[in-house]
Amino acid sequence: MRKLLAIAFALLFSSSLQSQSQAIFLDGRTDDWSQLSPTYIDSQNEGGTYDFIYFSATNDENFLYLKMKVTPFLKLLENNLISVYIDGDNNSSTGFQINGIGAELRFGFGYRNGFNYYTNSTATHSSLKFRSLPTVTDTVFEMAIGRQQIPPAGSGTIRIFFADNSSSGDRMPDNGLTFSYTFDNTPTAPLTPVEINREDTTLLRVMNWNTLEDGLTDPSREQSYRRILQAVRPDIIGFNEVWDATATEIQNKLNSMIPIQNGSWNTIKLDAGNVIASRYPVLQSWIVYSGQRITASLIDVPDRFGKDFLVINCHYKCCGGASNDATRQREADATIAFLLDAKSPGGVITLPQNTPYVIMGDLNLVGERQQLKTLLTGEIINTQLFGNGAKPDWDNTDLEDLISMQSDKRTAYTWRDDPGSYPPSRLDFQIYSNSAVNVEKSFVIQTEIMSQARLNLYGFLQNDTKTASDHFPKVSDISFRKSVNVQNNVSELSFELEQNYPNPFNPSTMLKYHLPINALVSLKIFDVLGREVAELVNAKQNAGRYEISFDANNLSGGIYFYKLQAGESVQIKKMVLMR
């Protein structure tokens, strides 16, 4: 019965399909994809090594987007023979003949290259503007291919086919079936660029940046670093790949580039390549894992924050392969063991309850997703070395992987090397204790894709980030959550409404809030004219954390407000629905 249903779906989609164009945020999560995106559902249990489940297609003005699900877990960019074939002119008599289509383009994921049959030339990730996320193993991937890079025109109707070219490999669509997709040229909602200048100086601005082989002290790159740092003006920085420069040399560079009035930058270098820099005093620092590039510093931030701030600056082992995966797993285990020790009295470090912290840096997560899972959930794998794991946040929950959009582009990648064999990837992370930290804003800077007006606004040159490093700076503005006292009245602002995620969104988003005590709760959605468009909650709720999914399928694109009322206290936040 399941196979018959799959074939029925396939036949349904064998004719040309057209989808509403979508403003996809390429971040690897796919929660912004419309459920109405044209989709082929494959017959299951057909593959040898990998079994295709489905794929979907959509587009915007510049890219064809594909979402693919496969089992079991797959490392998309290594160790597989899966390829996508695109019949760019919808003509089975031209191009490479396969499964009833004539493909003008083939791209192999595992080898990260392919062939353009239209021009009889090699197709690389760079020539196709191919991007994919997540970078770690998964079962669902989203990817983008430049529309103008799909021969012959990147418009009209195309046909799409996936094949695992290994022995007994699966095919999608099945033999004898085809999947056609017609580009929708309806313009997507324009991206509102992120303001890079500091809008709220009461927040703490945190930045991490891999400087690519001592870039900060390279005279040929110094001016690019100077322009970017002067625009960002961070409070705390985690630098990676500071191989040869000393902490004092980095301190002198920062004092020159972004001087502190009547003061000096504080810099710490304990391992072989990381520097933690702070405008504020560093109280204490630790090597987290001997012989590896992981350093932690406790920073005495201003009194208005009410707590010190722990920064763990990491540069995990690079690149693919089982040995490097195993090293990264030990590094992730060691990081979590350090945090669990910090949460408990005694040991190497003991922190006051609810001390906010961040794990940041170039984590090089390009292999098994277990390393990321360990950092988020506290599951330690090498228990004989590092002890048993546990939930790492102060409230005994998972940590938050802060996935930041680029300031001027709907993508989350933080590393790009066009001449190399790997497409752009998300390698640079900030992972927060979200019970103690509010992220008010975050972004990644890539000057190469910014408009000239935006470059002029911040004093950038077009190639500043490319000149500085192959990694992009990742920035977040944060505040600290107030310690919750269950004896407090709700009206004392001891409850909290978080920013919805994702934002902008289409068609659904998640609303989260925290109640310190039992309260009568109302959660409503309003349009820009103040009209109520949805009521999500109207009930008495017990103290705790709540997550509410909001589906806006019946609403038009635009700005909306969501209002949380608990007892006599009210909080309102803005969100943007993209259509």
Distance (Å, whole) CA 202 – CA 205: 9
Both tokens of 334, joined, read 């060691």
526 pLDDT more than 50: yes
Both tokens of 65, joined, read 């987007």
Distance (Å, whole) CA 326 – CA 367: 10
pLDDT (0 to 100) of residue 486: 34
For the ranges 45-54, 221-230, 306-315, the lowest mean pLDDT is seen at: 45-54
Contact predicate 472/427, CB 8 Å:
no
pLDDT in tens, 463-521: 999 999 999 999 999 999 875 443 333 333 457 888 888 888 888 899 999 888 888 89
pLDDT (0 to 100) of residue 19: 58
Both tokens of 416, joined, read 């790009």
The predicted model gives 64-71 an average pLDDT of 98
Domains of the chain in sequence order? 2-182 (2.60.40), 204-480 (3.60.10.10), 490-577 (2.60.40.1930)
Both tokens of 173, joined, read 């669509």
**Exposed, middle or buried, 337 (CB in 10 Å: 0-12/13-18/19+)?**
buried
Place of tokens 């909602």: 189
Question: Confidence band (pLDDT; 50, 70, 90) for 261?
Answer: very high
Distance (Å, whole) CA 266 – CA 237: 10
pLDDT in tens, 365-407: 999 999 999 999 999 999 999 999 999 999 999 999 999 999 9
Instruction: Give the residue with greater pLDDT, 540 vs 302.
Output: 302
pLDDT (0 to 100) of residue 516: 82
pLDDT (0 to 100) of residue 154: 84
Contact predicate 435/395, CB 8 Å:
yes
Contact predicate 433/399, CB 8 Å:
yes
What DSSP designation does 169 have? -
The predicted model gives 153-162 an average pLDDT of 94
pLDDT in tens, 107-142: 999 999 999 999 999 999 999 999 999 999 999 999
pLDDT (0 to 100) of residue 16: 46
Helix 247-257, helix 222-232: angle, nearest 10: 70
pLDDT in tens, 202-237: 999 999 999 999 999 999 999 999 999 999 999 999
Three-state SS across 28-47?
A: CCCCCCCCCCCEEECCCCCC
Tell which residue, 34, 164, 54, has the closest CA to residue 98.
164
pLDDT (0 to 100) of residue 556: 87
pLDDT (0 to 100) of residue 400: 97
Tell which residue, 441, 449, 374, 379, has the closest CA to residue 410.
449
Instruction: Give the residue with greater pLDDT, 290 vs 530.
Output: 290
pLDDT in tens, 508-521: 899 999 888 888 89
pLDDT (0 to 100) of residue 65: 98
Show the CA angle centred on residue 31, arms to residues 29 and 32, nearest 5°.
115
Model-level pTM? Answer: 0.82
pLDDT (0 to 100) of residue 18: 53
The predicted model gives 355-368 an average pLDDT of 98
Distance (Å, whole) CA 266 – CA 260: 11
Q: How many CB atoms are closer than 10 A to CB 324?
A: 16
Distance (Å, whole) CA 291 – CA 383: 19
Instruction: Give the residue with greater pLDDT, 428 vs 44.
Output: 428
pLDDT (0 to 100) of residue 11: 37
Mean predicted lDDT score pLDDT of the chain: 92
pLDDT (0 to 100) of residue 483: 56
Distance, first Cα to last Cα, the chain: 36
CB under 8 Å to 560, separation ≥6 — which residues? Answer: 525, 526, 527, 528, 533, 552, 574, 575, 576, 577
Question: Confidence band (pLDDT; 50, 70, 90) for 578?
Answer: confident
